[in-house]
Structure 1
Amino acid sequence: MKSNYIVCYDITNEKRLRQVFKTLKGIGTHIQYSVFFCKLTWQELTGLKEKLEGIIDGNEDDIRIYPLPSNSKCVVLGQGDRIPEGVEMFL
């Protein structure tokens, strides 16, 4: 069963930043500058964590993966036009 996750990152090196972005773009929805929404199984999440750990420098970079409830709703203010499938909007 797939679950919803928000993945946020702060990468200090341009090359590693591009690699992290490319990795996440292949599996999630890019919703803000350093934020992705991902729908993943436990195995996919484990694989993603392993890939990202292989890219980053743990002393300089920071990646956070936050689980979301399956019935997630979001509020978008401003120019937020990328709403992930399965996430409802508060109106």
Structure 2
Amino acid sequence: MELLVTYDIDTTTPQGERRLRRVANTCEGYGHRVQKSVFEVVCTPAQRLTLQATLNDLIDHATDSIRIYHLDRGTFASTVHLGNAHTPPHHGPLIL
């Protein structure tokens, strides 16, 4: 399955900055950063549940927002890039 994960973390406090780093690091473990707060993720349904549960535990529900969009298979391959963009290797190994 293909997911687009976007987040907006309140970084007005040191705790918020810490949450932002943890959310970004978690997303990096599952997919490719395509913009500052946007990740493209190719995963299994079980991995999606784990990712969603982990992110849910990291955020402050009163100030932070994460959106996970489930996309049709092949959406990433048909994406149009404008400007300074690169195409992540979604179906290759993810090396951290």
| TM-score, scaled relative to structure 2 | 0.82
- Ranges in structure 1 where 5+ consecutive residues have no aligned partner: 87-91
**CA apart distance, 1:85:** 2.7
Q: Which has the higher strand share?
A: 1
Q: Is the helix fraction higher in 1 or 2?
A: 2
Please list, as runs of the form range in 1=range in 2, the aligned pairs for 1:26-41 lying within 5 A after superposition: 26-41=29-44
TM-fit CA distance, 1:83? 3.3
SS in 2 for 1:80: coil
The root-mean-square deviation of aligned C-alpha atoms, in Å, is 1.2
Distance 1:10 1:84 in 2: 25
Q: Does 1:7 align with 2:10?
A: no
Following superposition, which runs of at least 4 residues in structure 1 exceed 6 angstroms of deviation?
none
Q: Give the total of aligned pairs.
A: 84
- TM-score (norm: length of structure 1): 0.86
1:77 partner letter: L
- The alpha carbon displacement at 1:84 in A equals 4.4
**Partner in structure 1 of residue 22 of structure 2:** 19
Instruction: Tell me the residue number matched to 1:76.
Output: 81
SS at match of 1:60: coil
Q: Paired residue for 2:56?
A: 53
